[in-house]
Structure 1
Amino acid sequence: MSHVANSKGRGGFIAGFLILPLALYLTFVIWPYIQTFGYSFTNWTGQSPTFDFVGLDNYSALMKDEVFGGALLHNLLLLVFVPAITILIALFFAFMLNAGGRSGAGGVQGVAGSALYKVIYFFPQVLSLAILAVLFGAVYRSDEGGLLNGFLTKLGLVDPAHPIEWLNEPNFVLWCLLLVVVWHGVGFYLVLFSAAMQSVPKDIYEAALLDGAGRAQTFFKVTLPLLWDSVQTSAVYLGIAAMDMFVLVSTMTSGQFGGGPDHHSEVMATVLMRNFLYFGQAGYACAMGVVMLALTLILSAITLRATRREHVEF
């Protein structure tokens, strides 16, 4: 009887601590999702307290919306390249900083000055996206005073009289934004992968080197399999970031809430905000939000499934 009473007492104690956080989560996270889903079936303007039920009209309109379709393609393009480039660069730097130096009496070690490099690489992560927008706005300035145009002019690759308008060139603008996201994220994932590498016994690297494995073989045959769980998690988080991009696009590109020139840098989040705040089509914007949520969940599940492999123990 005392054991049963203790179990009930412990359960009540735990439930007491969970009730308030759960209530807050349901109120401020789950309930807004439910409201958004409900509003997506209406013609709500975002201001009027009255609205009509329109069924699936908003979703059928989305299927014909060329701007939203183009924004979806841009998000998918970012979804492929942002995680791939960021993870590859971060993995390479993390490997060099932890096991890329010469092996000596102290065993396998990183390159000289690796501790300082980690701080330098992580520095962009402490900057807010608003600061990044201002910083790279100066880099991409469409005159000779811009850092990139000035550098290319010095090399003789750009005519000073006709500098490249990086953020107004349809073929360049999305790749310029992608570069900002990668530059911002590499440092964080470098530290994440470095922490995972430091938990790997150095004996494993030393054994691989003694067996004649080169740096590339050590990376692909030893480091990558042991860090796969961290890589998988990083791919999901970077995929979610690639499905957003609102802050950078809205602050760095032309147009109402960004997306210029001529919708060539449009992403789903900017189309959503423009419809919600500028055109007053809140119900239609909610339908976009539901589609974004569904796509993010589906793509996250696919990523986890596609990158799943047997856990490697050491």
Structure 2
Amino acid sequence: MHKGKNRFVAGFLIGPLGLYLIFMIWPYVQTFGYSFTNWRGQSSQMEFVGLDNYAELFSDSVFLRALWNNLLLLVALPLVTILLALFFAFMVNVGGRGGEAGIRGVRGSGLYKVIFFLPHVLSVVILAILWRAVYRGDVAGLINGSLIKLGISDPEQPVEWLNSPNLVLWCVAFVLLWWGVGFYLVLFSAAMQSIPREIYEAALLDGARRTQTFFKVTLPLLWDTVQTSWVYLAIMAMDCFALISVMTPGNSFGGGPDHSSEVMATYLMRNFLVFGKSGYACAMGVVILLLTLILSVVTLRASRRERIEY
């Protein structure tokens, strides 16, 4: 009977598994193979070049600049996003004043969740177009226009937000932060709502302050959710192709000015579709894949701790 059941389950799984192998795993295998060739993407003709593409990568100043920009986003984006999302989620769920009803969130918490989550409903391309208008380098830009009205900025010399090598990457990082905080606020809120209110009330009765309650009660009980969120945000920091390619200046796929906002994904696409260096681009894809896997494993290992049951 068990054998029949296993064959029945295998019959349903073999189709989806086969499709996954064909459309997901096989392209990765092909990319790995192409990375050892000088394939130009226009024909099936190619020559085996061994590790030449990988050696060229780490002597390519543009690729190293893109890698550095990815690492900066990797450090700043997950940390700030999670801290803000945790703070807002804590205030929304348990930051209200206590009373006869015990611990409760701030008034209008449901509305705050909707407002914070709204940016995540929009596609990344729409966000890029909207924020490109906000960051316009003339008086018609929302930020420059506001600064000029307040007398902070000179109308003859408005700030070139997206054309400044020192500002453009942080402008992109702010948009990613603004876009992501709402989603993780809702995620952390859902996790907090599963924590019994009696735990918070007992902590307050024992004399714990709100800050102590957050670090001693909320954060340990949400650690699994925080850990998973960190991995997803790290993956987003390693990509962010759509936002940068639409939002930042540059001839093809953004990354300007002077590669100041270049990331590995935009440089990969430029080599693949514009320069015709498809084998070289495949080597970049392999490097991005390996870095993402290593970062995910290291993050999960480094943040692993004993699970707390309640």
Q: TM-score, normalised by structure 2?
A: 0.99
1:56 aligns with 2:51: yes
Cα offsets for 1:67-102 (capped at 9, x unmatched): 000100100100011111111111011000100001
Q: Measure, in 1, the Cα distance between the counterparts of 2:287 and 2:52.
A: 14
Residue 260 (structure 2) aligned to one of 257, 260, 264: 264
1:297 aligns with 2:296: no
Q: Which residue of 1 is the match for residue 181 of structure 2? A: 186
Q: Which amino acid aligns with 1:257?
A: F
Q: Which residue of 1 is the match for residue 143 of structure 2? A: 148
1:244 aligns with 2:206: no
C-alpha displacement of 1:156: 2.1
Q: Which amino acid aligns with 1:73?
A: W
Q: Which residue of 2 is the match for residue 177 of structure 1? A: 172
Cα offsets for 1:172-210 (capped at 9, x unmatched): 000000000011111110110000000000001001111
Q: Which amino acid aligns with 2:27?
A: P
5+ long unaligned stretches in structure 2: none
Q: Which residue of 1 is the match for residue 307 of structure 2? A: 311
Q: Which residue of 2 is the match for residue 93 of structure 1? A: 88
Q: Measure, in 2, the Cα distance between the counterparts of 1:74 and 1:290.
A: 18
Identical-residue share of aligned pairs (%): 70
Indicate the SS of the match to 2:40: coil
1:45 aligns with 2:34: no
Residue 220 (structure 1) aligned to one of 215, 218, 225: 215
C-alpha displacement of 1:49: 1.3
Q: Which residue of 1 is the match for residue 125 of structure 2? A: 130
Q: Which amino acid aligns with 2:104?
A: Q
Q: Measure, in 2, the Cα distance between the counterparts of 1:254 and 1:144.
A: 18
Q: Measure, in 1, the Cα distance between the counterparts of 2:180 and 2:12.
A: 35
CA RMSD of aligned residues (A): 0.7
- The list of structure 1 runs, each at least 4 consecutive aligned residues, that deviate by more than 4 angstroms after superposition, is none
Q: Which residue of 2 is the match for residue 278 of structure 1? A: 274
C-alpha displacement of 1:155: 2.5
Q: Which residue of 2 is the match for residue 158 of structure 1? A: 153
Q: Which amino acid aligns with 1:30?
A: I
Indicate the SS of the match to 2:170: helix
Q: Measure, in 2, the Cα distance between the counterparts of 1:170 and 1:76.
A: 17
5+ long unaligned stretches in structure 1: 1-5
Q: Which amino acid aligns with 2:309?
A: E
Q: TM-score, normalised by structure 1?
A: 0.97
1:35 aligns with 2:30: yes
C-alpha displacement of 1:254: 1.2
Cα offsets for 1:249-275 (capped at 9, x unmatched): 111111121110000000000110000
- How many residue pairs are counted as aligned between the two chains? 309
Q: Which residue of 2 is the match for residue 17 of structure 1? A: 12
Q: Measure, in 2, the Cα distance between the counterparts of 1:168 and 1:272.
A: 22
Indicate the SS of the match to 2:309: coil
Residue 69 (structure 2) aligned to one of 74, 81, 85: 74
Q: Measure, in 1, the Cα distance between the counterparts of 2:261 and 2:237.
A: 13
Q: Which residue of 1 is the match for residue 229 of structure 2? A: 234
Q: Which amino acid aligns with 1:280?
A: G
C-alpha displacement of 1:212: 1.2
C-alpha displacement of 1:38: 0.2
Indicate the SS of the match to 1:293: helix
